[in-house]
């Protein structure tokens, strides 16, 4: 239904990002894959319009992406779990890195892509937030703070652009079966799943299905919203 649009996906090499790439390709879009490590996108290289190895925290590098001003659809999945542990033990370096990737990265990509969308009068941006940004997960202060920031950032920019034809929304998944869970212990995973009324993890393809809708013509009167995909966990 949105076939032929130019989409840019960050964090495209794995997890939700990779699922969004697959879904967009199936939807008929031309997809630019952005990831910190180009190697992770190698197996999809033939299907992709371009593979860009970029650290989204590096604004100059983001601005230098070939054709970044011609993108219609942006999905921002690039993120790190950040430091796990009590706030008082989080190193300032780790804190800064989590904010740089999860917040400044989202800002950098929007700054590079929104002007073109506004000029052409059509755009869809989906920023992947997290239930952690609504609830605040214990021992994940940096991740929770960064995802809360993504939600507020999305609302703010969406209102700025509400009459331009560019729609900007966030989605807030709960625990999703992706490599981001790598460092989590089985005990942590069990705890997180126990908070989900559906009693299971989310699959990346399920998030991609929601993202696909939010990036389509079908989504036309929702902007600045944070869409739930938490298996019933979210309270608001």
Residues in Cβ contact with 184 at an 8 Å cutoff, skipping those fewer than 6 apart: 84, 192
Shortest CB 148 distance to other proteins, Å: 12
Choose between 40 and 124: whose C-beta lies nearer to other proteins. 124
For 110, the enclosing helix (H) or strand (E) is: helix 105-120
Alpha carbon distance 174, 51 (integer Å): 28
Question: Taking every pair of C-alpha atoms in the chain, what is the biggest distance, in angstroms?
Answer: 49
Shortest CB 221 distance to other proteins, Å: 4
Neighbours of 36 (CB within 10 A): 17
- Catalytic, out of 143, 158, 201, 233: 143
Residue found by looking up tokens 């290289």 in the block = 45
- Interface residues with other proteins (CB under 8 A) are 155, 158-159, 162-163, 173, 197-199, 202-203, 206-207, 209-210, 212-213, 218-232, 234-236
Confirm if 33 and 9 have CB atoms less than 8 A apart: yes
Choose between 72 and 228: whose C-beta lies nearer to other proteins. 228
Choose between 10 and 212: whose C-beta lies nearer to other proteins. 212
Nearest to 178 by CA among 140, 146, 205, 204: 204
Shortest CB 194 distance to other proteins, Å: 13
Choose between 112 and 229: whose C-beta lies nearer to other proteins. 229
Residue 143 annotated to the active site: yes
Residue positions annotated with a catalytic role: 143
């Amino acid at each position: 239904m949105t076939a032929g649009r130019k989409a840019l996906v960050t964090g495209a090499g794995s997890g939700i990002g990779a699922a969004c790439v697959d879904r967009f390709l199936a939807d008929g879009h031309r997809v630019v894959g952005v990831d910190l490590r180009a190697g992770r996108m190698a197996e999809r290289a033939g299907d992709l319009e371009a593979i860009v190895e970029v650290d989204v925290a590096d604004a100059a590098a983001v601005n230098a992406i070939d054709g970044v001003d011609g993108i219609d659809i942006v999905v921002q999945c690039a993120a790190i779990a950040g430091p796990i542990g009590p706030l008082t033990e989080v190193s300032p370096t780790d804190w800064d890195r989590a904010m740089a990737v999860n917040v400044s990265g989202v800002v950098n990509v929007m700054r590079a892509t929104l002007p073109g969308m506004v000029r052409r009068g059509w755009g869809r941006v989906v920023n992947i937030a997290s239930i952690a940004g609504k609830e605040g997960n214990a021992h994940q202060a940096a991740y929770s703070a960064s995802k809360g920031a993504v939600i507020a950032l999305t609302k703010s920019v969406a209102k700025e652009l509400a009459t331009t034809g560019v729609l900007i929304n966030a989605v807030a998944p709960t625990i999703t079966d992706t490599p981001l869970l790598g460092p989590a212990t089985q005990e942590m995973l069990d705890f997180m799943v126990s908070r989900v009324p559906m009693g299971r993890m989310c699959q990346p393809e399920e998030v991609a299905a929601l993202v696909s809708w939010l990036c389509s013509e079908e989504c036309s009167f929702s902007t600045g919203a944070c869409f739930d995909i938490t298996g019933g966990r979210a309270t608001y």
